[in-house]
Structures are given as C-alpha cells and as structure tokens.
Amino acid sequence: MIRIKINNIFIEVPDGTMLLKAAEQLGIEIPTLCYLKDFIPSSSCMVCVVEDKYSGKFLPACSALAQTGMIIETDNDEVKKLRKNAVELLLSEHVGDCEAPCKRACPAHTNIPAINRFLAKGDFKNAAKILHKTKHGCAECAAPCEKVCRRKNIDAAVSIMQLQEFIFSQKDFKEIPSSSKSQRIAKLKFNSSYGKMRDNEKPEFLKEPENANARTEPKEIQSGFTADEAVAEAKRCLHCDCRKADICKLRLLAEKFEACQRIFELTERNDVSKIIYPENVIYEPQKCIKCGICIQITEKTEEIAFTFIGRGFKVKIGVPFTDKISKALRKTAKECVDSCPTGALAFYKS
Amino acid sequence: MIENTEHIIQQIVSQYGTSKDKAIPVLQAVQKEFNYLPDDVLKKVCDLTGISYSRIIGVSTFYSQFRFIPAGKHLIKVCVGTACHVKGAMQVYDAFSRYLKLNPEHDTDKDGLFTLKQVACLGCCTIAPAVQIDEVTYGKVGQNDIAEILNNFLSKATEKYVEQKSWIRNSKLQGEIRLGLGSCCIASGSEDVREALMDGLKATGIHTQVKQVSCVGMCHQVPLLEVKDKNDSVTFYSKVAPQDVKNILLKHFEPANFVDKLKNNLFQKLDRLYLDNQVSSPDKCYLDVSEKPVQDFMKKQVHIATELKGVLNPIDIDEYKQKGGFEALQKCLDEYSPEEIIEMIKQSGLRGRGGAGFPTGEKWEAVYNRQSNIKYIICNGDEGDPGAFMDRMLLESFPYRIIEGMTIAAYATGATKGYFYIRAEYRLAVKRIREALAECEKHGFIGDNILNSKTSLQIEIFEGAGAFVCGEETALIASMEGKRGMPHMRPPFPAQQGFNGYPTLVNNVETFANISWIIRNGANAFNKIGTSSGKGTKVFALAGKIARGGLIEVPMGITIREIVEEIGGGIQGNKKFKAVQIGGPSGGCIPASLAETPVDYQFLNEIGAMMGSGGLVVLDETDCVIDIAKYFLSFTQNQSCGKCVYCRVGTKHILNILEKISSGKANMDDLKKLAELSFQVKKGSMCGLGKSAPNPVITTLKYFMEEYEAHISGTCPAKKCKELIMYSINEKCIGCTRCAQYCPSGAIEFNPYEKHNIDIEKCIKCDICKQVCPNEAVEKI
Ligand SMILES: Cc1cc2nc3c(=O)[nH]c(=O)nc-3n(C[C@H](O)[C@H](O)[C@H](O)COP(=O)(O)O)c2cc1C
Ligand code: SF4
Ligand code: SF4
Ligand code: SF4
Ligand code: SF4
Ligand code: SF4
Ligand code: FES
Ligand code: FES
Ligand code: FES
C-alpha cells in the first residue's frame, strides 16, 4: 500500500493506483478531457494536472501513479492556471464554430441550423417546435442572422427569414409569439469561432449541404416559400454549428475555466476541412485534440484503424492511405463518436 | 507492381522478420532500396509482415529519416546544429537552395541529382559549418563554396574508390605514424591525407606503420599527424594537407633505395596528384606539443572516459587488451558479486551522463532488484543535442571500453540482452561498434558464457530513425518496439517495465565509458575528482566561436572560464566573449559575467542551465541571444512528439513570440507573455523535452533582458536579426566589383572603380557581399 496526502487528507491506495482514482476515493473531483475510463491514458491535455508539493512537480492525475510521500494539491492557484492555459492552448489551434453565426446573431438566439435541418428533411413539425421555444417573431427583426450567414461567403445567405415565415405560416404552428417578449436562451457563453471563411475552405463547407445552387426564390413573392421551395432552401444551410455543441468536453471546460480563445494566437490559423467517413461519420480535424481515443478504439476491431500521422505541432489523426477511407469505422462508428471528447468526430445527417 | 519490387521487399522482410516491432529497420532497408517510401511498397510491406497499415503510416511519418517523395540521387545534408548555426549554417543552406534552384515545396533539383536537407549536428562541430553529401563531409563551408563542393563531390563520386590495404613488407618497421580518423578528422580531409601517406610510403619505400587512432580531441587542429620516428621521438603536425605528406615523411624516415623509386616514376605520380596544390615544407604544419596552447588544451583535462585518446586504434582489440582493456570485466566476473559492483558504482558517485544525472549505482540496483528472467540493457547513443558530439566520438574511438562497461553492467544487473541505440547520422560509429562487437564475440567478451563464466550477453545495434525525443528513455524503448517514439509517464520506469515490458537498464554512452576505469582504479579514485554534487569528469563538445574547439574531458567543478579561456584559448578573432550555451536545447545561456560558475549538476541548475548531454557552444558579441533562443525553440518545437499540449502547442507560441521579437514587432506585453508561457510550458509538459525546452528562453530573459528590450525598440545589438538590419556600402569601397559579382539577387549594380551601392529593395540579406568584400566596405546598419 502507498500512503499519500491529497488536499491535506491522508489516503492509502494499492501500488499502481492513479492519482485521479485516489482522489476520486476521497470524493475529490479532478477535471479531465483526454482521459476516458478503461483506455490507456494519453496524458495529452493536461487538464487533470495536479501539483505534488513533495517533488515540486506538476503531474497529469489521469496517468501519474501514487507514490509514497506525495503531497498532492488538486486545486491551488497554479494548478488552476495550468488547467486554464492548457484549454486555451488547445483552443488556440482549434478551428470551428460551437454555435452557428446565425444563431449567435439572432436576438432570440434561435437555433437556426437545427430548424434548417428539420426543414431539409421535410419535418416541419419539429422545426416549428424549435422556433416556438424562442418566443420570437421575425417580422420586425432586421435579420442580422442573414448578414452573418456563412453561405454568403459562397453565393448568398440562406433565406433564413423567409424560412421562418414559412414555418409561421404552417397550420400546425399554433401561435405567433410576439416580438416584445423575446428572450435569449443561451446555455453556454463560451463560443469557439474562427472568423472569416477562406476561399480554399469553400469546397469543404459544400461537402455537406445537399443544395449547391444559388438562393431559392419563391415563385409567388407574396405568399412566400412553398413546401418544396422551403426544403430546397433549407438544404443550402452549411451546418456551421458544431454537432456536439452541448456535450463537447472542451467547450464545457472552456466555459468552466472562463477560458479565452484569443489569449494565445497563432500567426496563421489552420484551414477548416471536413472528411466524410462511412457510417455517416464526419471528421473535422481542426476540432481534434489528439487524445488518440479513436485510435485505441479502432485498433481493436477495425480492419483499417485510425493512426497519428506526422509529429509535433503538425500531427493529425487519420486513416492510412486515402483510398482506405471507405474501410474505416465499419464497426466502431458509434463508439468513436460517443467517445470523442470534442466535436471532431460526429454523425452527420443526424 | 513490378515483380522485382516485390522480390526486393520479400528479401528485406526475410532478413528482418515479419514481426511488427521490426517496423523501423524494415522501413530503413526499404528506403535504402527505393530511395523513398512509395505507397504501394508500404502496402506490400504490410501484406508481407504483421505490420498494419496504420502502424506503418504512424511510424514512418513520425521519424524524419523517412520520406514520401522521391529523393535526388545524392543527399546534401546541411548541418544546422548549434555550432554550425552560429557560424552561418542557414546562409549556407540558403546558398545551396539558390544554387540548386529549390523552393520550399521542392527539396530536389529538377534533374533529380541532389536533394537538400537540414540536419541537426553531423558531429563535426569544430569544423562548422558542416555539410555532408552522401558519405562525404565538408567542413568550414562558405556561401561561395557551393559550386566547388558540388563539383568536387561529383568528381569523387565517379572516381572508383579502391580500398587501400596497408602496405606490408617483411623488413623491420621504422617508427609509427598516427593519424586520427574520427568524423571531424575525416571531414577535414584526413582520409585524403591517409591516401597520400599510403602513396608516399609506397613511393619512397619507407616502411613504417600507419595507425588509425581515435579522436585525439584536438579537432581544431585536424588532420593531425603524429610521427614517431625510429628513435621513438614524437612530432606532431597539424592541419596537414595531402601535399604536405611527402616532405613530412622524408624528414623523419629514410627512404628505401630512394633513387630507384624516383626513377620508376611513382614519386612523380605523387607530385602530379597534387600538382595544383602548392607543395609545402613540413614546417608549415609543425605543431610543437611543448608549445603553450597545446599544453593548455591538455593541461586541465582528465581522461577517464577518453583514457588513452589519440593512442588507441579504435578497433584493435589486442591493443586494447594490452593497455588494460577487459581487465575490469575479468575482475568483476572473477572477484566481485553483482552487489559488490553496484556498491562500488554507488560509492564512486557516478551519475548518468545522458542529461538528467541520475545516480548510476541506484539505477543498476533497481534493475538488479527486479525479479525477472528476462532483463535488457540499452546503451543510449541517440545524442540528439544539435551541437554535441561526445557520444559519437566515444563510440567511434572507444568501442571496446563502452562494450566492456555494458558487459559489466549486464553482469551486475542480470541483463542478458543488450542494444546499442545509435543515431541515424552516425554511420562511422555504427560501423565501428559493429566491428567491435564481432571482435568481442570472437574473443569471448560477449556472447554465451563470457570468459567462461555463467554470464551471457548478446548485443545488437538499433539505428535510430531521426527523432530527438527518442533520446528520452521511454520514447527510445517505444521506437525499439517499432512504434512511434512517444514518451509515456514514468513510473513505470524502464527499470521496472522497459523494453517489451521487462526490466531494462538504460544508460548513456559516456556513463558506460566510465565503468571500467572505476573498477580498475577503485571508487575512491573516482569520487576524489569533482565536487560534492558531481563526481568524476564530464566530456564536453566545445565548439562555437572558440579558438580551440574539440572534445574535452574535464573534472567536474571546473569553471566555465577555465574551459573557455584556458582550454579553448578564448574567443576567435579578438571578439568579446558573450556567453556559453551549455546543455543544448534543454540547457541555458550563461553570460560571461557568470563565467566563474563551476560546472557540475547543482551549480548549473541553480543558474537555470543544465548539464545536459555536454554540448558547449561559445558565443561572442556578434551572436544575438534572441536568435539563439529562437534557434533552439524552433528545434524543440520541430522535435516535439506532439503528445501533450504544452509542448506541442505551447512551444509553437513561444517560437511565434520570439519571431515577433526578432522582427521588431513585439511590445512589452509580449515579453511578459513570453516569460509566463515559458514557465507554464516547463511545468505543464509531460516529458523532459517539453519541460526543458523553455530553458534557453528563460535564461536569456534572465541574463539578457536589455537585449530583448533593444529588439522591442527596433534594434538588434548584435546585428543578427535580419528584419532589423540593412546592408550598406561605405566610403571604404574601392570599386572592385566583387560584391556585385557575388550578390545572388542583383541588388548591387556593377560599377567598376566607383563606390557601389546596395538596392535595399532587392537585397535578401544573405551576407555574401560582406563576406567577399576585400576592404570591409560593406556594413550592417
Ligand atoms: C528529450 C530528451 C532527449 C534525451 N536524449 C538523450 C540522449 O541523446 N542520450 C542519452 O544518453 N540520454 C538522453 N536523454 C536522457 C535519457 O532519457 C536517459 O535519462 C538516459 O539515457 C539515462 O542514462 P544515464 O543515466 O546514463 O544518463 C534524453 C532525455 C530527454 C528528455
Ligand atoms: S468541438 Fe467543442 S469547442 Fe469545438 S466547435 Fe465543437 S463544441 Fe465548440
Ligand atoms: S449556413 Fe446555415 S448555419 Fe451557417 S450561418 Fe447560414 S443559416 Fe446559419
Ligand atoms: S478525433 Fe476525437 S477521439 Fe480522435 S483523437 Fe481527435 S479528439 Fe480524440
Ligand atoms: S513534452 Fe513534448 S515530447 Fe514530451 S511527451 Fe509532451 S509533446 Fe511529447
Ligand atoms: S566588394 Fe567591397 S570594395 Fe569591392 S565593390 Fe563591393 S563594397 Fe566595394
Ligand atoms: S485528462 Fe489527464 S492529461 Fe488529459
Ligand atoms: S556538426 Fe554542425 S552543429 Fe555539430
Ligand atoms: S574527430 Fe578527429 S580529433 Fe576529433
């Protein structure tokens, strides 16, 4: 048995126990990001860092083993700063929108891309439900959403307002909320956002929307979109928001630590790219934190597993040989998507 | 795929085996055959072995040795190690790049003849800047030598190289000629001198023995020839050129029927060979060993790891035995138990020389105490510090001593299988060790039942594939297991769970080189040398702006001043001593004002530096510390394995801020951020690479703050940072037009007999004009 002290409490643990586990036994919670139970810890994110006052070292609790004499502090100021900076460093190379620009611009924070996704599937009812929640009417709004719509960078903004009008006009839409009572519902304040879309990124964004055509113009201007037209127009939406915006561990930690994405700025941000894998998985490398969990999962069962490619700052996760993409993720798509701590691996068309 | 291709791959696989831990040697062999790693070949390798597609891509993209686009016929490696960096290696690189018309996307010229690459330290720092083309090394390369070097190389490459056997006859040998054939020596032309010697001997009929000896450490004097005539009196000749050889020979030896030989033209051939060079008198190279500089260079040194340097023929096992070699091993096997040996090593106070300085005896004990029927021992010869070449020299010069140390360690810890992990660039070291291992096996010093004892040890060589982080022991082991060389958290330490999960002893080359001396002379003789925190000696690679660079072995506790001024003879060219960078990328910059600091583990730590592996690069007033910090950070940043965020991303930001500073665009806030982030990276990184990477920044911030501030206000005091200087021609110009002829960007108009001018719009700040101007008319402002 090994006797150590954590936050001034003595505890005895068997040889080979991780600090994280020892702390857990004392009911002390240590945040983690790249660590996932039952996987080999990758010790990569340093969010779980603690200080050993005995050796003066800072250790990742998810992989450092308890050793006789340790005096661990799990949340002193230096530890907190290291955690926050770790998240900020990760965010500095992170490229993605947690929430779509349109949603952020909307005074009522309407989840526009979600509405668009339902519309695109012809599911008007669910689209209406979302709109209903916001208690906001678009009639008097200056449509800031359309001004910031990323589709504008490619051809023209999605006709968000007209799409909303279309929903309002549906008969199952019970009551048009009054704009005066509009209220912002924002759960998380933290937002990763990456600024301007670059020319070379346009094809990447166009991998998703089914409609690559220019803006749909309603035949009858006065009566607005027909159902078909609405579907077509909704299909132009680029799906800017992150698919894991509410569960992404990185975002939740950033929120918790009040991290700032711009505190460390790279001279050049990475380019956005989107890679479509089988089983409806989309991989956005710029959101990956290189934890290697997907590698560990796929290595076990897949014929073609993920691997780290390259080294250092340029390291990426991917499958070997581009012609093998179609053989990846055959069995483990769900496990990978569920385990990936960020929005890097997600299901698309969900 | 062509059938032949498949056949080649099959052969490689059958040589190395199909298990996945053989990924690296297999890839190395494949690349050697195909010159790069084509996709279809990689896939084929996987099909024929147990290596998965994912692993082969993961591994091959990790190590910088492997390439995925075809390389030219010849590989030009420009050393951009520390010593070469401070002597303008980047300018040399740029000059090659211009000459071959390359751009960032294309590292190979359009004829596919040359591929240009940067490497970190070729191990010839004393003749910096160094360039290696295939196996030929060129030293002191200038920006204007490019054409000449390439032509020389091409003529060499076509020359049919005939291995010269030493010329043996039955008559009595007169004296002996010793010639160093370490990497520095060879790079400075000692191979040519050796050929001239052999030719000369043949021509004159002089019958003496030419002995290749280990690096003598005086790398600044090479090629160094030591002539022992028949009366056993010794004369040294330094910086010998092939054309000097004949006269040196004639001065010391009597030619056998000289006239005859003259007649049969051989001698004329000799002269013809060197016709274009001036034949010089032997006095030109005469080096008086009683002369003060040579004495000073030697005086303060103590030779333990480098015992008998310049005397031993590196691979002559009989000579090694004669001079006390393997006595220690015999003694251990006969007289001491493992416990006693461990106790002795503990008592000696020996600490690991690989950087961290962990007490060697304790490490051995930890391995000894593990219960396991398989244990491994690894000699760490990865030496990634870009400005250090101690381990290379030890491996090349004293292979038997290192093997002996390893064998003793194996006996003491119970290991039965050993590995030499040697850096990819160290061809000669690999060759020597390979030869030495074969000899040892033949003589029963390794293998089964060593010297008829119950101890057995098999030793193999593993060649690294180009990753600094693989010097870190857990990463080293990962790479030996055929994986990406990414470190993991310790514990478990290698002593507990190392190679293939078994207890493994990892020690540095120099650590092993100390062992036999300690056993022969006793622990007390060793711990008498040095200070309380550092016992014994340390080998340093002394390079940079120093008058006498080379390999030195000094007692711990010697001061930096003694090393720089007394041993190294001070700064070259009457410049002012500014600082030393000790410990390479993990170490720090120590200002001249702290020159009285004794060199040992504790004192160096206290001032923010580190013993590191032993690189010692001397800087003068023309070196900019921000440039140095930037240099090291771009090295570590580039070598980060990418596992943990502080190192992977943090060092990138540090580098960015440094770049901002050196281009004059930074403000005081940036300095504050730089300092903060450096400490955070130190705390938050997982392995030693990241933990020590900020040291060059932290020490320069501490000791050279005013220089940082100067950059912020827009000037580089050392006139080094390109963005902050301009080239201009002053009144001293005599209108000789040289600068205009050499300027690669046409920034200087050809204007005979008139004052020349530089068009700053066109100037690329390559420094060539300044270097070629005969009248110091070009200045940096
Ligand atoms: C980034 C990094 C690079 C290292 N490079 C080397 C090296 O080139 N040679 C070496 O012997 N040790 C190197 N080490 C130290 C090794 O991890 C290990 O401590 C050493 O080989 C142990 O031998 P010793 O106790 O004899 O010093 C390095 C460590 C780190 C963190
Ligand atoms: S991965 Fe996380 S942090 Fe990144 S955009 Fe998605 S939700 Fe935001
Ligand atoms: S493309 Fe869709 S998600 Fe993106 S801003 Fe426009 S409407 Fe919103
Ligand atoms: S894709 Fe997700 S699971 Fe895979 S390494 Fe990146 S962050 Fe981790
Ligand atoms: S400190 Fe750097 S080299 Fe070491 S594990 Fe972390 S990323 Fe890799
Ligand atoms: S090389 Fe010097 S002296 Fe000659 S023209 Fe140029 S500046 Fe004048
Ligand atoms: S959770 Fe421990 S390092 Fe990421
Ligand atoms: S040979 Fe260039 S730095 Fe060592
Ligand atoms: S290598 Fe020749 S003297 Fe050092």
For ligand 2, atom 7, name the residue with the nearest CA.
Answer: A245
Condensed to tens digits (0 to 9), the pLDDT of residues B370-415 reads 999 999 999 999 998 888 889 988 999 999 999 999 999 999 999 9
Question: What is the best residue among B477, B635, B681, B685 to mutate for testing ligand 5's pocket, by most ligand atoms within 8 Å of CB?
Answer: B685
Question: For atom 6 of ligand 3, which residue has the closest CA?
Answer: A149
Whether chain B has a CB inside 8 Å of the CB on A79: the answer is no
Q: What are phi and psi of A26, to 5 degrees?
A: -95, 5
Contact: B488, A43; criterion CB under 8 Å: yes
Ligand 7 centroid from CA A315, angstroms: 18
Same fold, B74-157 and B537-712: no
Nearest to A308 among B484, B637, B652 (CB): B484
Ligand nearest to the CA of B396: 9
Give the alpha-carbon dihedral of B1, B19, B59, B30, to 10 degrees: -40
Structure confidence by residue, pLDDT tens digits, B314-342: 999 999 999 999 999 999 999 999 999 99
Distances (CA, A) of B578 to B220, B546, B625, B756: 21, 11, 9, 33
CB A237 within 8 A of CB A216: no
Which residues on chain A are in Cβ contact (under 8 Å) with B45? none
- In a 3-state reduction of DSSP, which class is residue B172? coil
Query: How many beta-carbon pairs under 8 angstroms link A with B?
Result: 123
Q: For residue A63, list chain B residues with Cβ-Cβ distance below 8 A.
A: 488-489
Check pLDDT > 50 for residue B199.
yes
Closest-CA distance of chain A to residue B6, Å: 19
* DSSP notation for A215-279: PP--SSTTT---HHHHHHHHTT----S-TTTTT-HHHHHHHHHT--TTSS--SSPPPP--EEETT
Angle B733-B734-B737 from CA coordinates, rounded to 5°:
90
Q: List the B458-463 sheet strands across, edge first.
A: B458-463, B417-422, B376-381, B504-508
Q: Measured between beta carbons, which residues in chain B are less than 8 angstroms from residue A89? A: 645-646, 649-650, 653
- The finding on whether B219 has its CB within 6 A of some atom of ligand 9 is yes
Domain regions of chain B by residue span: 3-60, 74-157, 176-289, 317-528, 537-712, 726-781
For the CA of A254, the closest atom of ligand 2 is: 3
Distance from residue B317's CA to the centre of ligand 1 (Å): 29
pLDDT higher than 70, residue B473: yes
Residue reference for tokens 């200002």: B591
Helical spans, DSSP H, in B280-359: 292-299, 317-322, 327-335, 338-348
Residue of B nearest to A308 (CA): B58
Confidence category of residue B167, pLDDT binned at 50, 70, 90: very low
- For A312, the closest of B43, B488, B642 (CB atoms) is B642
Q: Which of B56, B643, B686 sits opposite A320 (nearest CB)?
A: B56
pLDDT digits (tens, 9 = 90+) for B305-319: 999 888 888 999 999
Burial letters for B87-120: b for 16+ Cβ neighbours within 10 Å, e otherwise? bbbbbbbbbbbebbebeeeebbbeeeebbbbbbb
Q: Do A308 and B680 touch (CB under 8 A)?
A: no
Q: Residue A285 C-alpha to ligand 4 middle, in angstroms? A: 8
pLDDT tens, A173-187? 666 554 444 445 557
Q: Does any CB of chain B come closer than 8 Å to the CB of residue A2?
A: no
Q: Among residues B628, B692, B688, which one has the least CA distance to residue B658? A: B628
Angle at B511 between CA B508 and CA B513, to 5 degrees: 110
CATH code assigned to B176-289: 3.40.30.10
Closest atom of ligand 7 relative to the A41 alpha carbon: 2
CB B640 to CB A313 under 8 A? yes
* Stated pTM of the model: 0.90
- In a mutational test of the B interface, the residue from A89, A270, A286, A314 whose CB has the highest number of chain B CBs within 10 Å is A89
Ligand 2 atom, smallest distance to A248 CA: 2
A299 touching chain B per CB within 8 A: yes
Q: How many angstroms separate the CA of residue A206 from the nearest CA in chain B?
A: 28
Whether pLDDT at B258 is above 80: no
Burial class (CB in 10 A: 0-12, 13-18, 19+), B74: middle
Check if B130 has its Cβ closer than 6 Å to any atom of ligand 9: no
Q: How far away, in angstroms, is A245 Cα from ligand 2 center?
A: 6
- Which of B643, B658, B692 is the mutation pick for testing A, counting most A CBs within 10 A? B643
Give yes or no for B214 touching A (CB within 8 A).
no
Question: Could you give the residue ranges of the DSSP H alpha helices within B444-561?
Answer: 473-480, 509-521, 523-527, 560-561
Q: Does the beta carbon of B124 lie inside 6 Å of ligand 9?
A: no
Cis check: omega of the bond before B491, within 30 degrees of 0: yes
Q: How many CB atoms lie within 10 A of CB B167?
A: 16
CB B203 within 8 A of CB B216: no
Radius of gyration of chain B (CA): 27
> Into which CATH architecture does domain B317-528 fall?
3-Layer(aba) Sandwich (3.40)
Nearest to A324 among B53, B467, B649 (CB): B53
For ligand 9, the distance from its centroid to the CA atom of residue B284, given in whole angstroms, is: 20
Chain A, window 15-74: residues with a beta carbon less than 8 angstroms from a chain B beta carbon: 41-46, 49, 58-60, 63-65, 67
The predicted pLDDT at position B263 comes to 45
| Smallest CA separation from ligand 5 atom 1, residue | B690
Average pLDDT over all residues of chain B: 88
Which of B54, B640, B656, B657 to mutate: most A Cβ within 10 Å? Answer: B54
For B74-157, which CATH superfamily applies?
A: Glutaredoxin (3.40.30.10)
CA distance B483 to B22: 9
Which pLDDT score, from 0 to 100, does residue A181 have?
Answer: 47
Extract the residue ranges of chain A whose pLDDT is less than 50: 178-183
What does the alpha-carbon distance between residue A236 and residue B140 come to, in Å, rounded to a whole number? 63
Span B357-367, average pLDDT: 97
Would you call A312 and B648 a contact, using CB atoms and an 8 Å cutoff? yes
Distance CA B729, CA B578 (A): 27
B530 within 8 A of B557, measured Cβ to Cβ? yes
Q: Delineate the domains of chain A, giving CATH numbers in brackets.
A: 2-75 (3.10.20.740), 101-234 (no CATH), 259-347 (3.30.70.20)
Distance B644 CA to ligand 5 centre (A): 5
Q: Crossing angle, helix B705-712 and helix B668-684, to 10 degrees? A: 130
Q: Does domain B726-781 correspond to CATH entry 3.40.470.10?
A: no
For ligand 4, residues with CB inside 6 Å are A 288-294, 317, 340-342, 344-345
- What is the pLDDT at residue B175? 78
Q: Is A286 on the interface with B (CB under 8 A)?
A: no
Q: Match 């250092």 to its residue by tokens.
A: A312
Cα(A231) to centroid of ligand 4, in Å? Answer: 33
Amino acid at A290: K
Partner B contacted by A304 (CB < 8 A): yes
Rounded average pLDDT over B678-705: 97
Of A264, A305, A311, the CB nearest to B61: A311
Percent residues over pLDDT 90 in chain B: 67
List, for residues B535-565, the tens digit of each pLDDT value: 999 999 998 899 888 889 999 999 999 999 9
Q: What is the pLDDT of residue B290?
A: 56
Phi, psi of B622 (to 5 degrees): -90, 0
**CA gap B377, B304 in Å, rounded:** 22
Architecture of domain B537-712: Roll (3.10)
Per-residue model confidence as pLDDT tens digits over B124-137: 777 889 898 887 88
**CA neighbor of B131 nearest in space, from B73, B87, B171:** B87
Q: Is the pLDDT at B161 greater than 70, yes or no?
A: no
Nearest ligand 4 atom to alpha carbon A295: 4
Q: Does residue B122 register a pLDDT over 50? A: yes
The pLDDT value given to residue A141: 84
A222, B588, B593, B609, B672 from B703: Cα distances, Å? 75, 10, 9, 12, 15
Higher pLDDT, A68 or B214: A68
Can you give the pLDDT at residue A273?
94
Chain A partners within 8 Å of B20 (Cβ): none
Cα(B617)–Cα(B631) distance, rounded to whole angstroms?
Answer: 13
**What pLDDT was estimated at residue B257?**
55
B743 CB near ligand 6 (under 6 Å): no
- On the question of pLDDT at B231 being above 90, the answer is no
CA distance B645 to chain A (A): 6
B661 in contact with chain A, both atoms CB, cutoff 8 A: no
